[in-house]
Structure 1
Amino acid sequence: MSSPNNHRHVRVRLAPSPTGEVHIGTMWLAQFNWLYAKQQGGKFILRIEDTDQKRLVPGSVERLYEALAWYGFAPDEGPREGGAYGPYVQSERLTLYQDTAAKLVASGHAYHCFCTPQRLEEVRTNQAAQKLPPRYDRTCRAVDPAEAQARVMKGEPSTIRCKLPLTGTITHHDLVRGDVTFAWEQIDDSVILKSDGFPTYHLAVVVDDHLMEISHVFRAEEWLPSVPKHLFLYEALHWTPPHFAHFPLILGTDRSKLSKRHGATTALSYRDDGFLPEAMQNFLLLMGWHPKGDTEVISTEQAIREFKIEDLHPAGAVFDRQKLEWLNGWYIRQMPIDDLRARLQYFWELPEELRDDIEWQNRAISIVRDRLKTLRDIVAASDFLIPRIWEERVPSIAVDLFIPKKGTTESTIDALEWMDNHLGTLNDPRDAATLKEGTIAAIAEAGRKNGDVLWPVRTALSLLPNSPDVFDLIVTIGSIESRRRIRSVIEALQRASR
């Protein structure tokens, strides 16, 4: 059984490849790495694994830093931060990998492979025809080391492969999955150093994790089959391996692997869609792990106190966007209005006359915030409050909207005229509760019913069947604008009745 290291200090790392947009799964792993480091008083390291030069996408590292900053997972060490264990970019560490590969060859734990890409393709084709798993046939493993060295010295292209045991088993204790046993006969002699001098993942990750004194490796379960190769390299180099925890796949609500058909999958797309970083942190925490109790809302401070990696569920973590929207809405409702207003500015396209009207914006936010699932929703939730948009829409609204179930056009016109006159007797109201109390009393005194008056007034002000409270609307848009809208709807009803 493999024995994990006994580092005195916790050091964890996020080690993505800069091959495009940052996937939400990367931020999920980043959160648990960052969280564990904070909990244990350790360090969270960012390392860039760019050894697959053909797949590099310019700007990927910048986007990664942008995502980490927005989600709130700042590294303690990394390419920008520096640190005592750098460089933190693998392409700047090539001699370390090359020297290590040479040591493995010299000790008999690796060998040069001279097979051409064409031959390897033929091997794979033949294996597929026989319905065998694709695997190197170990032809060059039999080449005498002296002959191999002579061929290398003559300049013959070669890779270096690890020379794994052919029989027996190895058992690894995973912090998430418990003991996992692998049979050596089912594991390939993988390439660890390519012919261009760049390492593959298997060599680079072992060298870097050792030299950077990584104590715990939290990574996706897709790397679990690679554990035997990595443990082999640790043992061959007389290095102590870190603790490993292999996290489950992120699944959609249909239990299949999360993909674009489930919605957005890139980390920064959630920012652009109007989600809050606080909500994203909370949501990602609860994917596969949950504190004691039934609460769905958990602070970072609580998570730091209560999180245990052993409590992470090994089954797939379900990404439920509806749950995320609910959680995001909860955070929106709890946020101080000045903070919320500031965050809404990126999405809220207000006319020039309202852009600096903080009082109007605060009133508008206060009556629609309960309807917001994301910051982007502010546009659809509040646009009817803007006079120009209301004017553009009113001609297309069916007049039936304004008429209560048991009302008529004539009774609706009468009710709206009454409200127009009532508002004319008041100073511009600033308090919805006071306005409501006075108006309800006036309706009763006039011998009218609340629904007969308030339904047509509310729909007249909003042009919506479902909208905020009528008194909140009047206070938000003001008495003058409210009366203008009421009179416009009266005219529309009169035209329709001719």
Structure 2
Amino acid sequence: MQEKKVRTRFAPSPTGFMHVGNLRTALYEYLIAKNASGDFILRIEDTDQERQVEGAVEVIYDTLKTVGLNHDEGPDIGGAFGPYVQSERMGTYKKYAEQLVQEGKAYYCFCSKDRLASLHEENSFGGYDRHCRHLPQDEVDALLASGTPHVIRQKMPTEGTTTFHDAVYGDISVENKELEDQVLLKSDGFPTYNFANVIDDHLMEITHVVRGSEYLSSTPKYNLLYDAYGWEIPVYVHLPLIKGRNADGTTSKLSKRHGSTGFADLVREGYLPVAIINYIALLGWCPKDNEEKMDLQGLTERFSIDGISKSPSVFDYDKLTWLNGEYLRAMTPEEFTEQAMPYYQQVFGDTQADWSVLTLILQPRVTKLNEIPGMIGFLKDLPDYPVDFFVNKKSKTTLENSAPILREAIGVLKDLSNWTVSELHDTLLNLAQRLELKNGTLLWPVRIAAAGQTVTPGGAMELLAILGKEESLRRLELGLKKCEG
């Protein structure tokens, strides 16, 4: 018999931003499908109308596109199993719910919200008390005829256990007496989350259901629905919890108090999408070759379900930052400049600078793109620095020798016509030789005057090249005046 084609689905609800947990689920679903040459489907689950957030659907599309998780079927591109938005499938769910009623596997429940609320307060049963489960048929017919609001509930077994197999956690059993008669169709005609999931997954021929381990307790409800219809149960893949590290060293479920938890927020902090995806893949999964730096193709080639861990993983921002730095350093200078340009422009605005020199000094040092403005802000505005900066024991500079050094440097630089790093380098080092000074002794006051700070991302020649001749000479003149008193 021919093996079924692997089909996975990412089915987010448009209720907010893309959390790293949602993105990891989407990534694993994509990798499971693509590693097996299968299909990755996007389905929008918008049945919870009250919690929908305007623009959230666009966030889903934009995020998946940005990280390269291209879906084979979905609301925007169609497919053979559409529609791919749950609210557009409303005609589908009612007939399946009523089918179970007709087969004696579900029933109409007419209990009011007040009655259900009182049950919850009393907590006598721990859930719904099955009041309507055995109503006489003539009473049911009369209530339906009068238009009494109702839901449809599934008849759950009250004895024995329900066991299911998960690809990560193995066999898990639940006592049936703990299962409430679940609502399938709400009084407004909308399906419940669990019910719509099962119907859609079956009709779309989904073979693998991937979700967080917090849904493990719901899985028996899914299986009892599959059994009620006589449908094949998909492969379940439950993912370990993602935690954050607290200030006291303990861990708890990842939340905003630990740092940015949304994809868009991480990008705004200067992380590359490829680094975010790479890192998120390692939150609960390890490749057999223990490789850490992998693009989407590398992840697809290596991914296997048996590499997923049962243990919670801790979101380590330092590890993400390290990985991001590795990707930045692996770029060509042109690629880095393109990524860094919005941050360069935060400092320079419309003013042009020698971007190639800026990239030369920054690319080896930057670990997050949003570090760039803080690293080069002095190039826009010379800081108000103390004259003590010119004094440096290692370079053997003092206020007394810094002034004549700057005067000599200004003299030779004024005559320099080709303002490039190499020409600046040769001119200044020749000056040091002529003045019988060590290179460091000459370059220290030049760099301090140019930058106004002791720590800079580049040396004197690079900074002068970026500043340009006019601004460089202006700053050196100001430094000379500062040294002279």
Same fold (TM > 0.5): yes
Shift of 1:371: 3.0
- Residues 93 and 294 (structure 1), Cα distance of their counterparts in 2 relative to 1, 3 Å cut: closer
Q: Give the aligned residue type for 2:436.
A: G
Pick the aligned partner of 2:262 from 253, 261, 266. 266
Pick the aligned partner of 2:163 from 154, 168, 171. 171
Residue matched to 2:448: 459
Aligned ranges for residues 188-267 of structure 1 at < 5 Å? Answer: 188-254=180-246, 255-267=251-263
Aligned ranges for residues 30-429 of structure 1 at < 5 Å? Answer: 30-127=26-123, 134-254=126-246, 255-347=251-343, 348-349=345-346, 351=348, 354-355=351-352, 360-386=354-380, 389-390=381-382, 393=383, 396-405=384-393, 407-424=397-414, 427-429=417-419
Aligned ranges for residues 17-32 of structure 1 at < 5 Å? Answer: 17-32=13-28
| Structure 2: tracts of 5 or more residues without a match | none
Mapped to 2, the partners of 1:456 and 1:329 lie a distance apart of 31
1:148-169 residue CA offsets vs partner (Å, 9 max, x unmatched): 2442233221111111111111
Mapped to 1, the partners of 2:164 and 2:25 lie a distance apart of 21
Contact 1:354–1:361 (8 Å) recurs in 2: no
Q: Give the aligned residue type for 1:368.
A: L
Contact 2:39–2:72 (8 Å) recurs in 1: yes
Shift of 1:267: 2.2
Aligned residues, how many? 477
2:435 is the counterpart of 1:446:
yes
Shift of 1:328: 1.6
Range that drifts further, 415-424 or 333-342: 415-424
Shift of 1:351: 4.3
Q: Give the aligned residue type for 2:464.
A: I
| Structure 1: tracts of 5 or more residues without a match | none
1:74-129 residue CA offsets vs partner (Å, 9 max, x unmatched): 211111110110111111112211111111112222122111111111111111xx
Shift of 1:474: 3.0
Range that drifts further, 58-67 or 472-481: 472-481
Contact 1:177–1:246 (8 Å) recurs in 2: yes
TM-score, length basis structure 2:
0.92
Contact 1:31–1:285 (8 Å) recurs in 2: yes
Shift of 1:326: 1.9
Contact 1:428–1:478 (8 Å) recurs in 2: no
Q: Secondary structure at the match of 1:81?
A: coil
Mapped to 2, the partners of 1:141 and 1:249 lie a distance apart of 37
Range that drifts further, 25-34 or 410-419: 410-419
The runs of at least 4 aligned residues of structure 1 exceeding 4 Å deviation read 350-353, 424-427, 434-442
Q: Give the aligned residue type for 2:86.
A: Q
Contact 2:336–2:363 (8 Å) recurs in 1: no
Q: Give the aligned residue type for 1:485.
A: R
In percent, how many aligned pairs have the same letter? 39
Q: Give the aligned residue type for 1:373.
A: T
Shift of 1:235: 0.6
Q: Give the aligned residue type for 2:385.
A: I
Mapped to 2, the partners of 1:122 and 1:260 lie a distance apart of 35
CA RMSD after TM alignment: 2.4
Mapped to 2, the partners of 1:19 and 1:122 lie a distance apart of 30
Shift of 1:46: 0.7
Q: Give the aligned residue type for 2:454.
A: P
Mapped to 1, the partners of 2:173 and 2:359 lie a distance apart of 57
Q: Give the aligned residue type for 2:217.
A: P
Q: Secondary structure at the match of 1:225?
A: helix
Shift of 1:429: 4.9
Mapped to 1, the partners of 2:225 and 2:436 lie a distance apart of 89
Mapped to 2, the partners of 1:69 and 1:218 lie a distance apart of 20
Shift of 1:425: 6.2
Q: Secondary structure at the match of 1:50?
A: coil
Mapped to 2, the partners of 1:344 and 1:22 lie a distance apart of 24
Mapped to 1, the partners of 2:229 and 2:290 lie a distance apart of 47
Shift of 1:294: 4.8
Range that drifts further, 200-209 or 398-407: 398-407
Mapped to 2, the partners of 1:378 and 1:49 lie a distance apart of 40
Mapped to 2, the partners of 1:96 and 1:16 lie a distance apart of 19
Range that drifts further, 342-351 or 182-191: 342-351
Mapped to 2, the partners of 1:178 and 1:352 lie a distance apart of 57
1:126-151 residue CA offsets vs partner (Å, 9 max, x unmatched): 11xx7x7x422222223234532442
Range that drifts further, 473-482 or 26-35: 473-482
1:233-256 residue CA offsets vs partner (Å, 9 max, x unmatched): 001101101111011222113321
Mapped to 1, the partners of 2:464 and 2:309 lie a distance apart of 51
Contact 1:174–1:243 (8 Å) recurs in 2: yes
Range that drifts further, 47-56 or 269-278: 269-278
Mapped to 2, the partners of 1:290 and 1:442 lie a distance apart of 56
Contact 2:157–2:176 (8 Å) recurs in 1: yes
Contact 1:404–1:456 (8 Å) recurs in 2: no
Contact 2:321–2:367 (8 Å) recurs in 1: yes
1:459-484 residue CA offsets vs partner (Å, 9 max, x unmatched): 22222221112232233334554333
Contact 2:40–2:71 (8 Å) recurs in 1: yes
Mapped to 2, the partners of 1:456 and 1:252 lie a distance apart of 46
Contact 1:37–1:43 (8 Å) recurs in 2: yes
- Residues 305 and 440 (structure 1), Cα distance of their counterparts in 2 relative to 1, 3 Å cut: same
Mapped to 1, the partners of 2:429 and 2:340 lie a distance apart of 34
TM-score, length basis structure 1:
0.89
Q: Give the aligned residue type for 1:151.
A: L
Mapped to 2, the partners of 1:372 and 1:304 lie a distance apart of 28
Mapped to 2, the partners of 1:334 and 1:99 lie a distance apart of 56
Mapped to 2, the partners of 1:73 and 1:145 lie a distance apart of 51
Q: Secondary structure at the match of 1:181?
A: strand
Mapped to 2, the partners of 1:162 and 1:353 lie a distance apart of 65
